[in-house]
Amino acid sequence: MRFLTKLTTNNLRGQIRNYSSAVENIKRVGVIGAGQMGLGIAYVTANVTRLPVVLMDINSSQTEKGLQFMNKLLEKDVAKSKISEEHAKITRELVSTTNKMAGLSDVDFVIEAASENLTIKSAIFRELNEVCKSESILATNTSSISITKIAANTNKADRVIGMHFMNPVPVMKLVEIIPGLATSDQVLEQTRALATAMGKTCTVVSDIPGFVANRLLMPYINEAVMLLESKFASAEDIDTTMKLGTNMPMGPLTLADFIGLDTCLAIMKVLHENTGDSKYRPSVLLQKYVDAGWLGKKSGRGIYSY
């Protein structure tokens, strides 16, 4: 299915910005997963870089929901005079969708944004290895899983890299770039150039569990849940202490609900299992919330009710 109509080559040529030579070979980008992260990545790619994007999700209803949300983002930006109606129209036309992995066969750069689960990501990369061009770059938006492990599911580990966007993607400026053991310098530079073209600031991080952002953030959130579990303070008082006492924009428990408690738990498990360090042991209460289906804002209930 297509989101409106694709731009012709002539129409598109005038819209593409001047990129460094590292991005010149990237003509079309694929994004896997039409959830919050994938949709945000697709939106920024089309809206800022003006490159055509193929958004892939096996769930067609999720794809439709994602495109509806993208429309709302564009309408909001037009209403705030951040972009013109013409700019929004072109952004819509730059995005096409598919429900099959084969729909990514002609993309030059793929960004996978599926669930934070090694089994799921491994299966995706095995399939990408079959359907994508040999010269395509395969990036994963994993927030904690080893890039080297993911790359081992392909026969082109030199072209696999981590590209960890922050949530919400249209707002947050950082992208962590994580080369795997075999990632080539050329792929690293092309990935950095693409992220920069998206308007992001890049950091390059070693392939360690949790990288830098979540290696620091998740233990902080986990410790806050442990304080709540031990009844040392209420959720509200824990959050207020960090907001007003350390000038955090939001408290750790509110942030956990926003991220998703299932995502927080998955990352803590990766940290714990891959380091063997007891300081990364997930909170028992965090596991209970996830077992109950209380995943945070997205499910209507987490540490707080929404």
Annotated binding-site positions for NAD(+): 33-38, 57, 116, 121, 143, 167, 298
Q: Which two tokens stand for residue 301?
A: 């209930």
Among residues 111, 124, 121, 115, the alpha carbon closest in space to that of 164 is found at 111
Q: Which two tokens stand for residue 122?
A: 């491994």
Nearest-angstrom CA–CA distance, 125 and 104: 12
Strand 160-165 and strand 174-179: the pairing is antiparallel
Q: Which residues are catalytic?
A: 143, 164, 176, 214
Q: What is the DSSP letter of 110?
A: E
Among residues 69, 57, 166, the alpha carbon closest in space to that of 112 is found at 57
Q: At 52, phi and psi to the nearest 5?
A: -65, 140
| CB atoms closer than 10 angstroms to residue 71 | 14
Annotated binding-site positions: 33-38, 57, 116, 121, 143, 167, 298
Q: Which two tokens stand for residue 126?
A: 């095995």
For residues 151, 144, 109, 191, the Cα torsion angle rounded to the nearest 10 degrees is -100
End-to-end CA distance of the chain: 34
121-131: burial string, b at 16+ Cβ within 10 Å, e else: bbebbebbbeb
Nearest-angstrom CA–CA distance, 111 and 160: 10
